[in-house]
A and B are shown apart, each in its own frame.
Chain A
Amino acid sequence: MKTVNTTDTSKRKFLGGAAAVAGIAIAPGVLLQTVNAKPDNEAVSNKVRWGMLIDTNKCGDGCTDCVTACNTENGLTGFERPETDSQWIRKLTLKDKQTGHVQTLPVMCQHCETAPCVDVCPTGASFKREDGIVLVDKHICIGCRYCMMACPYKARSFVHEDLQDQKDHAPRGKGTVESCTMCVHKVDNGENPACVTACNKEHKAMYFGDLNDANSEISKRLKQYGGKQIRADLGLNPGVRYQGV
């Protein structure tokens, strides 16, 4: 396995072969992420299932670095109208009614294996990629909002007004529904989602990787320490797991 420094992502694709392997070395000897960059012309496959692990014990109280990074990366500028502005990721504060224990954690699209949004979408605009990432094909979204009714995680936003100056890697437009894409444009490029990268600068509470690869950091951690699903009772097998809740 070859380990490449973070800053070198652009070169990675020239390393050749079907799957150039890259990782991010945070400190000497500590490998936090192992991410496969596929060639541009290769379709994603279900051999991979992208997932995230969030360690709520490490998540900073009052820290919103992941939210800021998401907004910057995807150009979610908003109109100062919190009820209608899009939020792809948000920080939740939980307080146990019985014990008073308080904790915070980020919640975004949980990229379910059997996603209710995908089931209910009349046109198939809500869909799950082979590698487990749940997306909205805004080209065929009619803006009926049934997916927003069906999502158990309140993960989706409806674009309520005209947008200007969208990012070229994150097209978004009025009248369609959107949600966390797991930064699919970065993932396809062998990079981590923006929230994970931002979190790794200080708190290191978020891990991204391939749940199907037993040797990935995320799989090893999940195997060793376990990981909970939000609303596990619904049996949706989400790709985002939590520790410490």
Chain B
Amino acid sequence: MVLWFRKNLQNIMLAAIAMLLATSVNVNAEVVAPVVPKGKGEQCVEPTDVMRKNHMEMLKHQRDETMHNGIRTKKHALKECIACHVQEDEKGQVARFGDDGHFCSSCHNYAGVNVDCFQCHADRPQELIGKGHKIKPHHTADFKDKAINKEALQALTEVSK
């Protein structure tokens, strides 16, 4: 029953987010996709379009499985996403969550969708902890002027047939 609630809760949240986004759609704007940093490996654990659309489902499923059942498979684990997608740049700097250069926030800043992961979870691989600037509490993302347009949203979430 708890699981049912969680699934349902997510749908409610998604519907709410979609409604919020719908109100801020600017149809005349040019389609500019966010610049997403490239991952370390050749290929993600799932096809890119599936990840774009469903990464939150997978993360959430994995989160509950790990938390409550001790399942520690790596495929859909947040830790592994971070390990692959958050890297040092040429200057030896690492982007923090909230920076446009951080894999997660590159898109989330753009879409104006806040996430509640990195108040607790490490936003960079363990070996890079200590590198990168400090995150200012509560100022993790600035969503001003980041309203997404309809085409960009479609492009980001459409799953190829």
Contacts and interface: CB of A to CB of B under 8 A. Distances in A.
B121 interface: yes
B130 interface: yes
Contact of B71 (A43, A135, A163, A166): A43
6 smallest A-B Cβ distances: which pairs? Answer: A173-B120, A162-B137, A43-B69, A171-B120, A44-B70, A173-B119
- The main secondary structure of chain B at its interface with chain A is loop
B119 A174 contact: yes
A54 B11 CA distance: 47
A138 interface: yes
Interface in B18-70: 63, 65, 67-70
B135 A40 contact: no
A49 interface: no
A168 B67 contact: no
Contacts of B138: 162
A137 B63 CA distance: 10
A135 B67 contact: yes
A224 interface: no
B79 A168 contact: yes
B122 A165 contact: yes
Interface string B109-147: 000000000011110011001100011011000000000
Contacts of A189: 72
A185 B65 CA distance: 13
24 contacts: A40-B71, A40-B72, A40-B73, A40-B74, A42-B71, A43-B69, A44-B69, A129-B69, A137-B68, A138-B120, A162-B119, A163-B119, A164-B135, A165-B130, A167-B122, A168-B79, A168-B126, A171-B120, A171-B122, A173-B120, A174-B119, A174-B137, A176-B120, A189-B72
